[in-house]
Amino acid sequence: MAQCREYLDNGNRCRRSTAQPNGRCRTCHGITSEWKRCTHTAARGKYCGRKHKTLEEIADHKAAAQARRNRSRSRSSRTTTSTWPSYSAPSSSYGSAQPPYGTRRPRQTSPGSRSKSSGQGGAEGGTGHRSRQPLTEAVKREAATLCSNAILGQDVLAAFESQITAYVSSEVINELMEHWDGKSCEDLAKIARGLLGLKGYLTKLLQVTLNWIVEKTNIGIFPRLVACQLVAAIPLPWNAKLVAVARVLQVTGICLCFSHDRLLECRCLHDLVQFESMQAIGHLLTGAIHDWREIAERMPQPKAS
């Protein structure tokens, strides 16, 4: 069913389905005294006939909200450290399959090996583990431009709006959009980093447990390696769900930052570049226009460190 063609008085696109021949839904498009969408049935045209906020009041409310966001952004820019500094479990990039205990090769210390393991040596496809150094302003501008072009070129916002309410209630999304600021973006990015890091921890725990069990049964080293690496490579249901939720959170943060003209400060976007690669932006946004249940499969997995 087609989406309603009207916009709410606050400028947001109506997300309800068309219910009338004129392309409208049957719900009022006004804004109530609580700054929420009116849920009464439209008696005539777009409105239900009750008293709603005027366009001037809505504009003043938006200006005040923008001022609060600016103040919050300036505060959050001074305290951007996260309890999850990266996607990685200790000494391992998330999703990487390390050999079990007693089988690791000596650590290489040459400059070339350090460059390759950190993802700065030109890993194929740009999916190697990335440096955790803060991004420069030039890199942030490049990422914002690349992201903006991908969103506009692939109509990502329309795909986001059509799918997000299938998983999250429209009331929650509307509240998030209304109060979106730097703190909200940082919070979504922090949760996504935690989920991706948790995936690595759980995979590592399963590998270590399996290795301990088979070691007690006198199984050879290479069969053990095969089994442990299969544990890391084959996505389990809980594993795939963690990644999918994290990726949708990143898509949400990027889309809302784009809508609020703050891609340069988008923490979700910066995480993609800082911990993965510039190419990850395109992969994520391409996955966002398809079924979100498959979004984890459309993102390349980082290579083992």
Q: Could you give the CA distance from residue 194 to residue 184 in angstroms, rounded to a whole number?
A: 15
- CA pair distance 96, 93, nearest whole angstrom: 6
CA separation for the pair 158, 286 (Å, rounded)? 13
Least confident range of 74-83, 173-182, 291-300: 74-83
Instruction: Provide the pLDDT for residue 132.
Output: 65
Cβ atoms of residues 93 and 200 within 8 Å: yes
Cβ proximity of 101 and 211 under 8 Å: yes
pTM reported for the whole predicted model: 0.55
Distance (Å, whole) CA 285 – CA 18: 27
- Which residue did the predictor score with more confidence, 10 or 122? 10
Task: Report how far residue 210's alpha carbon sits from residue 143's, in angstroms, rounded to the nearest whole number.
Answer: 40
Strand partners for 31: 37
Residue 90, token pair as written in the block: 């200790």
What would the pLDDT profile of 185-208 be if each residue is shown by its tens digit? 999 999 988 888 887 787 788 788
Place of tokens 């570049």: 273
Chain-centre distance of CA 27, in angstroms?
Answer: 31
Q: Distance of alpha carbon 72 from its chain centroid, rounded?
A: 21
Top-confidence range, 8-17, 125-134, 183-192: 183-192
Q: Check residue 265 and give its pLDDT.
A: 92
**What's the start-to-end Cα distance of the chain, in Å?**
47
Residue closest to 245 by CA, chosen among 301, 300, 199: 199
Cα dihedral across residues 48, 50, 55, 59: positive or negative: negative
The pLDDT mean for the chain works out to 76
Residue 117 has pLDDT above 50, yes or no: no
